[in-house]
């Protein structure tokens, strides 16, 4: 069948490796491969395993189009050396793996932390939290918080989360907070 044709493009040994290195099933990996190659120009689809898809194309996926953190997600999962946030098939698989239902809460919170760490400095400071809140409340005038509301909210977040009281949230503090919110993992997923 037509499906068999596209499935055979992932060498069998690689397919096995992808299953070991991700939380994805063989079916999910093959579906991901199909979705990924559809983002490539026709003439590059043959070599989808070694091609890179530009960020602009990745963002056309409906699952990401609606995600307020779409730019950060591309940034965190991209291994592009030119830092253009493009994705290889393996980057794409990593992303789907972390967002899959089978990924552990630890892995999800680790990546969520990196996605929310807008300046990539390893901690969530006030500026990161402000951008986080803006992403979540939307940038529209009517939904944007006043600076007083924002200040209050960030105070509350820090009071809840900043255990060592240094004014920032580190990974272990973040994971501690997340471990107490059962709906976190379910909100942190992308299903193709």
Q: What's the pTM value of the predicted model, to 2 decimals?
A: 0.89
Is 156 found in the same domain as 89? Answer: no
Residue 93's SS3 state is helix
Is 111 found in the same domain as 91? Answer: no
- CA 188, CA 176: separation in Å to the nearest integer? 16
Owning domain of residue 26: 12-99
Is 17 found in the same domain as 94? Answer: yes
Average pLDDT value for residue range 155-160: 92
Give the pLDDT confidence of 30-61 residue by residue, as tens digits.
999 999 999 999 999 988 999 999 999 999 99
- CA 106, CA 148: separation in Å to the nearest integer? 33
- Domain with 139 in it: what CATH number? 1.10.238.10
For tokens 């909210």, the residue is 153
Instruction: Point out the domain boundary residue: 83, 99, 115.
Output: 99
For tokens 């990546």, the residue is 111
Write down the pLDDT at residue 192. 63
- CA 132, CA 18: separation in Å to the nearest integer? 32
Is 114 found in the same domain as 179? Answer: yes
> What length is written for the chain?
192
Is 16 found in the same domain as 57? Answer: yes
Average pLDDT value for residue range 79-102: 96
- CA 79, CA 84: separation in Å to the nearest integer? 9
Is 143 found in the same domain as 88? Answer: no
């Amino acid at each position: 069948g037509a499906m068999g044709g596209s499935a055979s493009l992932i060498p069998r040994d690689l397919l096995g490796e992808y299953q070991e290195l991700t939380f994805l099933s063989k079916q999910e990996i093959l579906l991901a491969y199909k979705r990924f190659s559809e983002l490539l120009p026709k003439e590059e689809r043959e070599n989808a395993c070694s091609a890179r898809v530009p960020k602009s194309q990745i963002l056309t996926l409906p699952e990401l189009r609606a995600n307020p953190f779409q730019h950060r997600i591309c940034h965190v999962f991209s291994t592009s050396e030119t830092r253009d946030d493009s994705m290889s098939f393996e980057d794409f698989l990593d992303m789907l793996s972390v967002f899959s239902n089978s990924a552990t809460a630890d892995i999800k919170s680790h990546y969520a932390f990196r996605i929310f760490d807008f300046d990539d400095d390893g901690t969530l400071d006030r500026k990161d939290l402000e951008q986080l809140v803006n992403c979540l409340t939307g940038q529209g005038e009517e939904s944007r918080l006043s600076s007083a509301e924002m200040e209050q909210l960030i105070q509350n977040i820090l009071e809840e989360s900043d255990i060592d009281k240094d004014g920032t949230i580190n990974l272990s503090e973040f994971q501690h907070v997340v471990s107490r919110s059962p709906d976190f993992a379910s909100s942190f997923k992308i299903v193709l």
